[in-house]
Amino acid sequence: MMGLPREDRFAEIEPLLPLVEKPVRYLDHEWGATLEQDGPFHCCMIYPDTYEVGQPSLGVQILYAQLNAAEGISCERAFLPWVDMCDLMRERGVPLLALESAAPVASFDMVGFSLAHELAGTNVLEALDLAGIAQLACDRDEDDAIIVAGGPAAFNIEPIAEIFDAVLLGDGEESIVEVAQAIRAGREAGLARAEIVASLAEVAGTYVPSLYELRFDDEATTSGYAVPCEGAAVPEVVYKRAIANLSDTDALAARIVPFMQTVHDRISVEVLRGCARGCRFCQAGITYRPVRERTPDEIVAACTQGLRASGYDEVSLTSLSTTDHSRCAEMLHRLNNALEDTGTRVSIPSQRLDSFGVEMAAEVAGAKKGGLTFAPEAGSQRLRDVINKNITEDDLERAARNAFENGWRRMKLYFMMGLPTETDDDIRAIPALAQRVLDIGRDVVPKGQRGGLSVSISVAVFVPKPHTPFQWQGQLGLDEVRRRQKLLLDSTHDRAIRISYSDSETSLLEAALSRAGREALPLVLEAWRRGARFDAWSDQFRFGTWQEAAEAVGIDLEELACRELPLEARLPWDHTSPGVDVGFLRREWRRALEGKTTVDCTFASCTGCGVCPTLGVENVLVGERS
């Protein structure tokens, strides 16, 4: 099928376009796409969500560029069609097609999935079924595509591990090319499929689930833990890959200009990778370590080049902690000078909760001051110390005063509910803190200029994540979440404070899938068979479907999400590691219970997390942090 003219292949899907919502999702030949797909080795990268959600993914864009730059390899993209198109394609017998060539996804040599979150499992199953590829690795035939995965949710892949032939952990710029080359070499050598898959374990940072089996003993939880199969020459622990120097990679991976508006409709430039702030709830803060910064020269050049090539009028400086960049002020000054009088907006998605963060936000906001967002995470200082947020009430109040004095009128504050050791007083402290911020605004802003002055608070349910100091903590049960949400609402008395909170049922499922082992695969399969898909979309999520599926396979979702795990147990995800030492995590858990904070190693001395010596990669700063 790959050899047919593209026009003939596209003819299958073209008649469906007038019948579906947003047909532009399925159009190709965007400006900047790689249209010459010569191969001879063909890869397809799939983001298992709609085009407008997946196309802005920096991870997909980076891997797409890397594969297409490699000799003898071509890479195309595919996204999961929306529900209307999925149903029509099944009805008309049209398989999932790649965007660039309209070739069936099943015809590619390698298919890669980027997993952004734990709720993506049913969408992966939907994409494979639509493509006509067996959903489980053990059911695939000799000539079937090799199915790989990676992304932020790969560090506990166990609930869906048996779907994939291989899983890439950590930075994928180098490993994705090495895996493709290994598959190509195996095919050319005439190796059996199982031999090719097994050879992928030799690529550093690559986990091959079929080469590991579960063990249940006194060290295990009820989920068991994975060990190498007898005779398998694989490591007991697969450590992630980490790029030693971010400057060795292309600062401008995003060069495709979509035909439609996407969720992040702008150029994105990654200014640094990693964060060492040490928030104890934050999985990304562990899995992206160490910190590696780009120079201001690289960043400014990438921004100006990307804007010229794309026609966008906004550039986003992305990272986990952009205003922590050691030369942030210089970088923003230079960008403002370079983009002066162009009408271009510079956005900072993440900023420090202090006056410096406000100053940097002011640097890029100009006269357009919409809302400013901060994340205190907890309402009381006691609980902020427990989670190692390392900000004080004074920091927040100074930042708020600075913001209101500099022209902002709307403030948004992010919090979490259900953090370890949380009490009702900590819940009441959330609206109390918002009230203090609002009162500062009323004190700073003259009476006649207070129109639109408001503070909104968004409260998510804490989800305990693998490889964090809180991985042993259970989540709040549904009834207790709802009780605390009601307490939050009853404790808020000022109409200028707006409250929103996350759906407790979605958070429960996320926690269950975050903390499960391979016993959860039947659950995910059964939920998909019962119609679950696009579970991250609030209007598509059906908790009742998941409850029915859980009952059918004998799983208690709430028990899975809310169980506390023994501190010394072997956990289901211990064999896939971001390089952090479990002793460090245990130490941080104990410090949390004592209310003791830990410093950021990029501002002070090493904290002993183990990532740098384990991976052989160190923090790379281009200036002095302050």
When the pLDDT of each residue in the chain is averaged and rounded to a whole number, the result is 93
97-106: pLDDT as tens digits: 999 999 999 9
**Contact criterion met (CB below 8 Å) for 307 and 344:** yes
Residue 36: pLDDT above 80?
no
Q: What is the mean pLDDT of residues 477-505?
A: 95
- Position 175 scores a pLDDT of 97
- Position 370 scores a pLDDT of 65
Distances, alpha carbon 143 to alpha carbons 107, 124, 146, 320, 392, in Å: 9, 20, 9, 40, 59
- Position 366 scores a pLDDT of 62
Among 131-145, 179-193, 331-345, 570-584, the least confident range: 331-345
Distances, alpha carbon 43 to alpha carbons 107, 112, 519, in Å: 10, 8, 30
What residues does CATH 3.30.750.200 cover in the chain? 365-502
If one compares 245 and 450, the residue with the highest pLDDT of the two is 245
318-360: pLDDT as tens digits: 999 899 999 999 999 999 899 888 888 898 876 777 777 888 8
Amino acid at site 176: I
Residue 177: pLDDT above 50?
yes
- What's 365-502's CATH class? alpha beta
Q: Using alpha carbons, select from 145, 246, 253, 130 the residue that is nearest to residue 193.
A: 145
CATH number of 6-168+172-239: 3.40.50.280
- Position 363 scores a pLDDT of 79
- Position 365 scores a pLDDT of 67
d(CA 277, CA 313): 32
Residue 251: pLDDT above 70?
yes
Residue 362: pLDDT above 90?
no
What residues does CATH 3.40.50.280 cover in the chain? 6-168+172-239
Distances, alpha carbon 293 to alpha carbons 9, 245, 267, 305, 530, in Å: 44, 8, 19, 19, 46
The interaxial angle of helices 521-529 and 121-131, nearest 10 deg, is 60
Count of helices and strands (H, E) across the chain: 21, 19
Return the structure tokens found at 594: 């004592």
**Contact criterion met (CB below 8 Å) for 325 and 360:** no
**Contact criterion met (CB below 8 Å) for 75 and 67:** yes
Q: Using alpha carbons, select from 471, 390, 404 the residue that is nearest to residue 436.
A: 404
**Contact criterion met (CB below 8 Å) for 169 and 179:** no
d(CA 475, CA 507): 9
219-240: pLDDT as tens digits: 999 999 999 999 999 999 999 9
**Contact criterion met (CB below 8 Å) for 399 and 380:** no
57-109: pLDDT as tens digits: 999 999 999 999 999 999 999 999 999 999 999 999 999 999 999 999 999 99
Residue 561: pLDDT above 90?
yes
**Contact criterion met (CB below 8 Å) for 307 and 267:** yes
Q: Match domain 244-350+596-626 to its CATH number in 3.40.50.1370, 3.30.750.210, 3.40.640.10, 1.20.1260.10.
A: 3.30.750.210
- Position 367 scores a pLDDT of 52
Q: What region does 560 belong to: left with phi over 0, alpha with psi -120 to 50, or beta?
A: alpha
9-22: pLDDT as tens digits: 678 888 999 999 99
Q: Using alpha carbons, select from 206, 205, 212 the residue that is nearest to residue 232.
A: 212
**Rounded CA Rg of the chain:** 24
518-547: b or e for each residue (b if 16 or more CB lie within 10 Å)?
bbbbbbbbbbbeeebbbbbeeeebebebbb
Q: How confident is the model at residue 1 (pLDDT cuts 50, 70, 90)?
A: very low
DSSP-assigned beta bridge partners for residue 112 = 45, 148
401-451: pLDDT as tens digits: 998 988 888 999 999 999 999 999 999 999 999 999 999 999 999 887 887
196-225: b or e for each residue (b if 16 or more CB lie within 10 Å)?
bbbbbbebbbbbbbbbbeeeeeeebbebbb
Q: Say how many CA atoms lie within 13 Å of 179 toward its Cβ.
A: 34
* Secondary structure string (H, E, C) spanning 558-584: HHHHHCCCCCCCECCCCCEECCCCHHH
Residue 6: pLDDT above 90?
no
- Position 450 scores a pLDDT of 81
Distances, alpha carbon 513 to alpha carbons 125, 159, 480, 516, in Å: 15, 7, 20, 5
- Position 368 scores a pLDDT of 61
What residues does CATH 3.30.750.210 cover in the chain? 244-350+596-626
d(CA 458, CA 225): 36
